Amino acid sequence: MRTQVAIIGAGPAGLLLSQLLQRDGVDCVVLERAQQAHVEGRIRAGVLEQTTVELVGRAGADRRLRAQGLTHEGFNLSCDGEVFRIDMAALTGGARVTVYGQTELTVDLIAACQRRGTPLLFGVQGVALHDIDSAAPFVTFERHAEPGRQAAPSRIDCDFIAGCDGSHGVSRASIPAARRTVFERNYPFGWLGILADVPPCGPELTYCNHERGFALSSMRSLTRSRYYLQCALDEPLQDWPDERIWDELALRLGPTAAALMTRGPSIEKRIAPLRSFVSEPMRHGRLFLAGDAAHIVPPTGAKGLNLAAADVGLLSEALTDWYRRGTAQALDAYSGRALARVWKAERFSWWLTSLTHRFPDMDPFARRMQVAELQYIRASRAAQTVLAENYVGLPLA
């Protein structure tokens, strides 16, 4: 098989890249180790920056997003039950975010691939990248075999490889260790997340700093709510029955939110670690990394999916320049441009996490600093503007 760009990974980054490229006449193939049903069922992020929404529109996959997405002009911060609102639209000249689940976005992008006839190969095994530092890279893999039959080895020859296969994928690992530098911070707590088919307790997200730990009230739709609680990484999930989670949420979110909270059985519940991670550079030869393959941010501030979309926006433009104009300038600049934005998002996610969470070694002085900074943000339009500009998303570099 021959294509121009081989895309490894059929998450939102790989799928979005495939449609942006195909829209511009660049051929591509997408390889994914999981089956389609598993990919479409993964529950992840749900807050989209305007840049992400615009890119999905360019990819021709925004019909349901425009119809069903919830547009938010602000969000709330809370400190021990005292809530104040950040008016993003007023502070940023009208910028907004859209709440739309990653699960739904993935379904939309797969449908767009199918409409365009983009080759999507699910369930492939043993993916390996070859000759990535040459002008003729290729990918080998084994296709899913029927029961009782041997898997068939396959090969894709290509001009470029886009590694969109996440933190544990093969793409980043294919870059020699001596040619990449890793920056990492692991946080000493996790997020206990619960998803329930109940109305949200408010029209916008609320990030809460409470003496018992962080909490977040969010939503995926007007009838599906997403809540998070800071907890220890080694907490046994079985120690958190639904009723205990709802009780703790009511306590940390405060009496106003608690009075509006609708309780119900969880349909998904898990504890996720928090991590800041960057691998530099985001290019090696003809291999380009995008999304979680190159960087991870804490979920505070909802930057993960949006960073991946921004990477893809830059990479699709650079690849299109190569094929339309024969120039490598944008490809050569991709890693530096993407990382400049990545590090700003890493800074914001780290700062908001530090502002809203209780750390194990936090002494009374550090706690007073948190409270003082929250009070300063509440009283300062300039501080709120900085927060809002970062939350709605910085422009592409």
Closest CA to 133 of 178, 186, 72: 178
Per-residue CA distances from 223 to 62, 195, 242, 257 (Å): 21, 11, 18, 16
The mean pLDDT value of the chain amounts to 95
146: pLDDT strictly greater than 70: no
Buried b (16+ CB within 10 A) or exposed e, 194-222: bbbebbbbbebbbbbbbeebbbbbbbbbe
Percentage of the residues of the chain whose pLDDT score is greater than 90: 94
In the predicted model, what is the mean pLDDT of residues 84-111? 96
Residue 148 has what pLDDT? 59
The whole-angstrom separation of Cα 53 and Cα 271 is: 28
147: pLDDT strictly greater than 70: no
Catalytic one of 72, 210, 284, 295:
72
Strand ranges in 281-327 using DSSP code E only, listed in sequence order: 283-284, 287-289, 295-296
Percentages helix, strand, coil for the chain, rounded to the nearest 5? Answer: 40, 25, 30
Residue 339 has what pLDDT? 98
Structure tokens given for 340: 């400049």
pLDDT confidence bin for 21, thresholds 50/70/90: very high
In the predicted model, what is the mean pLDDT of residues 199-210? 96
Structure tokens given for 175: 């870059």
Catalytic one of 284, 295, 303, 357:
303
The whole-angstrom separation of Cα 337 and Cα 348 is: 18
Q: How far is CA 286 from the centre of its chain?
A: 24
Nearby residues of 202 by Cβ (< 8 Å), 6 or more positions away: 76, 217, 257, 260
Structure tokens given for 378: 């509440």
Is 299 noted as a catalytic residue in this protein?
A: yes
Is 72 noted as a catalytic residue in this protein?
A: yes
Is 269 noted as a catalytic residue in this protein?
A: no
CATH hierarchy code of domain 5-72+98-183+275-352: 3.50.50.60
Catalytic one of 12, 137, 200, 299:
299
Per the CB < 8 A criterion, the answer to whether 85 and 381 are in contact is no
Element (H, E) at 260: helix 255-260
Q: How far is CA 147 from the centre of its chain?
A: 35
Is 391 noted as a catalytic residue in this protein?
A: yes
pTM, whole model, 2 decimals?
0.94
Q: How do residues 363-391 score in pLDDT, each as one tens digit?
A: 999 999 999 999 999 999 999 999 999 99
Residue 132 has what pLDDT? 98
235: pLDDT strictly greater than 90: yes
CATH hierarchy code of domain 187-273+358-392: 3.30.9.10
Residue 12 has what pLDDT? 96
Maximum CA extent, the chain? 68
Give the angle 51-294-319 at the CA atoms, nearest 5°: 60
Closest CA to 357 of 211, 206, 154, 167: 211
Catalytic one of 187, 227, 228, 391:
391
Q: At what angle do helices 329-356 and 381-392 cross, to 10 degrees?
A: 130
Is 100 noted as a catalytic residue in this protein?
A: no
Q: Of the ranges 43-52, 54-63, 106-115, 335-344, which one carries the lowest mean pLDDT score?
A: 43-52
Catalytic one of 207, 227, 228, 334:
207
Cα end-to-end span (Å), the chain: 35
44: pLDDT strictly greater than 80: no
76: pLDDT strictly greater than 70: yes
Percentage of the residues of the chain whose pLDDT score is greater than 70: 98
Residue 46 has what pLDDT? 87
Q: Which residue has the tokens 């001596």?
A: 178
Every domain of the chain and the residues it spans = 5-72+98-183+275-352, 187-273+358-392
